[in-house]
């Protein structure tokens, strides 16, 4: 299988002569930077104006998409906004009902758990050995 940098599969980047291949732009593929640059300069963007231009074009496309979304929202609101709002209310009410039901069930389960704990406590009290009667003081005299 051929890789984008020209290395063949299993070739480890070595050609028929056994020498390593490097891209024509002089980058060291293992380190991702150009040869000859001092250590610690990997962060440098020598074509920063082109990078910024590309970022600006990307931001412009994103802004255009946002404007399209706004226009679509506005038109949908005009055409079917009332119906979409009614569906939203219906779904929200359904979810609220389900939440309230779940909370009520949780409260009943918690109350049942507390009653069970009370019964277990009463059972422990039933099976506890009775306290020994107090011994009358002996008259030594």
Please write the tens of the pLDDT for every residue from 115-135: 999 999 999 999 998 888 878
Pairwise pLDDT comparison (44 vs 76), residue with the higher score = 76
* Rounded Cα–Cα distance for residues 17 and 22 (Å): 14
* Rounded Cα–Cα distance for residues 67 and 64 (Å): 5
Does 32 score more than 70 pLDDT?
no
Residue 33: which H helix or E strand, with range? Answer: strand 33-34
Task: Report the residue count for the chain.
Answer: 141
Q: Which residues pair with 14 in a beta bridge?
A: 20
Does 10 score more than 50 pLDDT?
no
Residue 136's region, left for phi above 0, alpha for psi from -120 to 50, else beta, is: beta
Mean pLDDT of 45-61: 90
The pTM of the full predicted model, rounded to 2 decimals, is 0.43
Does 38 score more than 90 pLDDT?
no
């Amino acid at each position: 299988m051929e890789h984008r940098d020209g290395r063949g599969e299993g070739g480890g980047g070595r050609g028929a002569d056994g020498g390593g291949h490097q891209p024509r732009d002089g980058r060291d593929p293992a380190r991702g930077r150009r040869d000859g640059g001092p250590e610690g300069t990997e962060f440098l963007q020598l074509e920063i104006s082109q990078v910024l231009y590309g970022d600006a074009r990307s931001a412009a496309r994103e802004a255009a998409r946002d404007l399209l979304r706004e226009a679509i929202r506005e038109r949908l609101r005009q055409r079917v906004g009332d119906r979409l709002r009614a569906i939203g209310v219906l779904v929200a009410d359904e979810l609220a009902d389900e939440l309230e039901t779940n909370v009520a069930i949780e409260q009943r389960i918690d109350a049942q758990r507390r009653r069970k704990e009370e019964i277990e406590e009463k059972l422990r009290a039933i099976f506890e050995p009775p306290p020994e009667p107090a011994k009358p003081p002996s008259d030594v005299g």
